[in-house]
């Protein structure tokens, strides 16, 4: 960015100050360099860099303009009166006067001529007005884009209970646009939350969360046993963990080091279950094919999991009770995330 600055020495033509950082040091704070220009036929043409740093008495202050003050300036320009601008902005006339005075002081120019009949734009004010309108318009578009950004939420799988919770939330809050992601494991997902790359994730939290990241238990999802029609437990109304200890449980896709691997390992140890992930994971469709054809295979799924299979498979979903086995799902988010959709999601999942 370059800004024009008239040097106090009248023998010089207007100067240009350029913010410059050397390519060899891209992270270095930009330096102010003094640039002279030749003036031909009333226009500013080719520049010549002097290559020396600007002296203190030539220092340039680039103001950080307050958009609220700019909006007030436009309101006064449009109404022609400080009192009318105050009414339009729903503030006091004194507040309008202070904002305009602060803006004039910041810019070092008078923007209005004050008369008993109202406020008229100076030449500087007239020059600034179209740019001020652009600033306000850009600020409004910026805010609209932030509020229009979709709520980005991660789930382990789109067939799981947390995905069902998100569908419930969307039905209750159709105005909230949401983007559903499926990241690999808890460490990846929680790191994405901490970095602000996603707004929330549903995970089984097993360790300490990063600073500024919070969680809340939102679903303890009961397990169901999934078996084919030839399995010995196919006609049971319910089963107990003690009964399952006599049957191998196949859960394809268990990856060592993930939160679900840790959960199933703990579950197997607590109830003496034989849980394994034998063979490659070809997806849910392949899993239901195997269960339908093999009367010795069984699997565990969440109560709210959406599993679809062909009519001929005749699979059974059998509740596990005495005690129920529940997978703990937590919502994880950054405490300082202001997304309105996240606030609505938290209120929906954790009322009160």
Model pLDDT for residues 71-119, shown as the tens digit of each residue: 999 999 999 999 999 999 999 999 999 999 999 998 999 999 988 888 9
DSSP 279-290: S----HHHHHHH
Among left, alpha and beta (phi > 0; psi -120 to 50; other), residue 85 is alpha
Residues 129-133: what's their mean pLDDT? 93
pLDDT range class, residue 276, cuts 50, 70, 90: very high
- CA 263 to CA 195: how far, in whole Å? 26
pLDDT range class, residue 255, cuts 50, 70, 90: confident
| Residue 148 confidence (pLDDT) | 63
Model pLDDT for residues 316-339, shown as the tens digit of each residue: 999 999 999 999 999 999 999 999
Among candidates 287, 299, 305, which has minimal Cα distance to 226? 299
pLDDT range class, residue 145, cuts 50, 70, 90: low
pLDDT range class, residue 270, cuts 50, 70, 90: very high
Q: Above 60 in pLDDT, residue 15?
A: no
- Average pLDDT of the chain is 82
pLDDT range class, residue 244, cuts 50, 70, 90: very high
155, 180 contact by CB (below 8 A): yes
β-strands 326-334, 200-203: how paired?
antiparallel
Distance in angstroms between the alpha carbons of the first and the last residue of the chain: 49
In degrees rounded to 5, what are phi and psi of residue 202?
-100, 115
202: which strand partners?
331
| Residue 13 confidence (pLDDT) | 34
Higher pLDDT, residue 56 or 66: 66
185, 258 contact by CB (below 8 A): yes
DSSP 163-232: HHHHHHHHHH-TTS-EEEE--SSHHHHHHHHHTTSSSEEEE---SPPPTTEEEEEEEEEEEEEEE-TTST
| Residue 38 confidence (pLDDT) | 32
CA distances in angstroms from 192 to 65, 156, 182, 197, 339, listed in the order given? 33, 14, 12, 5, 16
- CA 201 to CA 162: how far, in whole Å? 9
Higher pLDDT, residue 31 or 68: 68
pLDDT range class, residue 6, cuts 50, 70, 90: very low
- CA 154 to CA 114: how far, in whole Å? 57
Model pLDDT for residues 222-232, shown as the tens digit of each residue: 999 999 999 99
Hey, what long-range contacts does 11-18 have (CB within 8 A, 24 or more apart)?
A: 12/36, 13/37, 13/38, 13/39, 13/44, 14/39, 14/44, 15/58, 16/47, 17/54, 17/60, 18/49
In degrees rounded to 5, what are phi and psi of residue 277?
-125, 50
Q: Above 70 in pLDDT, residue 298?
A: yes
- CA 120 to CA 199: how far, in whole Å? 48
Residues 143-164: what's their mean pLDDT? 86
| Residue 207 confidence (pLDDT) | 84
Q: Above 50 in pLDDT, residue 211?
A: yes
- CA 245 to CA 230: how far, in whole Å? 18
In degrees rounded to 5, what are phi and psi of residue 38?
-90, 150
pLDDT range class, residue 4, cuts 50, 70, 90: very low
| Residue 31 confidence (pLDDT) | 32
| Residue 41 confidence (pLDDT) | 35
| Residue 282 confidence (pLDDT) | 87
Q: Above 60 in pLDDT, residue 44?
A: no
Among candidates 243, 253, 233, which has minimal Cα distance to 323? 243
- CA 232 to CA 244: how far, in whole Å? 11
């Amino acid at each position: 960015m370059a800004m024009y600055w008239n040097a106090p020495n009248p023998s010089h033509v207007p100067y240009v100050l350029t913010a410059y950082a050397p390519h060899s040091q891209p992270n270095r704070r930009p330096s102010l360099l003094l640039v002279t220009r030749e003036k031909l036929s009333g226009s500013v043409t080719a520049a010549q860099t002097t290559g020396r740093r600007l002296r203190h008495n030539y220092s340039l202050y680039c103001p950080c303009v307050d958009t609220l003050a700019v909006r007030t300036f436009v309101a006064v320009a449009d109404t022609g009166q400080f009192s009318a601008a105050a009414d339009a902005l729903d503030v006091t006339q004194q507040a309008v006067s202070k904002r305009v005075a602060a803006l004039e002081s910041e810019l070092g120019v008078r923007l209005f001529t004050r008369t008993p009949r109202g406020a008229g734009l100076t030449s500087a004010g007239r020059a600034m007005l179209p740019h001020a309108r652009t600033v306000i318009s850009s600020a409004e578009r910026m805010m609209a884009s932030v509020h229009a950004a979709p709520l980005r939420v991660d789930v382990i799988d789109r067939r799981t209970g947390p995905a069902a919770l998100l569908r419930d939330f969307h039905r209750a809050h159709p105005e909230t646009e949401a983007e559903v992601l499926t990241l690999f494991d808890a460490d990846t997902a929680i790191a994405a939350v901490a970095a602000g790359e996603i707004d929330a994730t549903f995970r089984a939290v097993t360790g300490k969360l990063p600073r500024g990241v919070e969680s809340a238990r939102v679903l303890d999802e009961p397990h169901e046993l999934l078996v084919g029609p030839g399995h010995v437990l196919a006609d049971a109304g319910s089963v107990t963990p003690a009964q399952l200890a006599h049957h191998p449980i196949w859960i394809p896709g268990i990856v060592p080091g993930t939160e679900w691997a840790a959960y199933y390992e703990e579950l197997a140890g607590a109830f003496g279950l034989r849980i394994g992930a034998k063979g490659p994971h070809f997806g849910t469709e392949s899993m239901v094919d195997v269960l339908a054809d093999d009367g010795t295979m069984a699997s565990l799924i969440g109560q709210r999991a959406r599993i679809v299979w062909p009519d001929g498979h005749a699979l059974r979903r059998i509740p596990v009770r005495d005690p129920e086995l529940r997978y703990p799902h937590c919502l994880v988010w950054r405490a300082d995330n202001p997304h309105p959709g996240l606030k609505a999601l938290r209120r929906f999942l954790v009322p009160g």
